[in-house]
Amino acid sequence: MSIPVFAYNIPQLTGNSLQPNTIAAMAKEGTISGIKDSSRDLLQLVDVLRAVPEGFVVMNGTEEYALFAIMSGADGLVSGGASALPEVFKSLVAAERRGDYRAAAEAQSLVQKVKELVTPGPIPAYYAVLRERGLECGEPRAPFLPVQKADADRAISGLRALRLI
């Protein structure tokens, strides 16, 4: 039985960025079936999309340019924000897929507002958002630390003002 393996490019945590030619070589050899790219580098993501063979799955992990990644050919988005606020990200992808670029751009703008509310530390803040939504999810694992109460309160208040929770 063959199990598809995905690479995960997140250089800000690993200290190493998987380059498009390396990803393409692993894809062509059958070493990996796809990649989640959280490099925060849209141009590199576009280079990956150009380099890999047809059928290779490319998932974007950078929320700040989710719409642009999908419009460039990424197969989808895997993000912490989508775990906490799936409606926002679902509306972005659905609008892009139906060609409603105005609605897609509005959804991307909303993603940007969410990102501003969950700084510093979006992953720990999303845990607080999930708890606020009634989903007990524990605390984030290292290297992340729990969000400070003031930051969580600010994020939740802002999300309420946006009518997202």
Span of 14-28, 83-97, 136-150 with lowest mean pLDDT: 136-150
Between CA 9 and CA 19 the distance in angstroms is 9
Euclidean distance between CA atoms 136 and 35, whole angstroms: 29
The confidence band for 123, taking pLDDT boundaries of 50, 70 and 90, is confident
C-alpha distance across the termini of the chain, in Å: 43
Share of the chain above pLDDT 70, in %: 99
Query: Is the distance from CB of 27 to CB of 53 less than 8 angstroms?
Result: yes
Q: Where are the domains of the chain?
A: 1-78, 102-165
pTM of the complete model: 0.87
Segment 62-67 shows an average pLDDT of: 94
Residue 142 confidence (pLDDT): 86
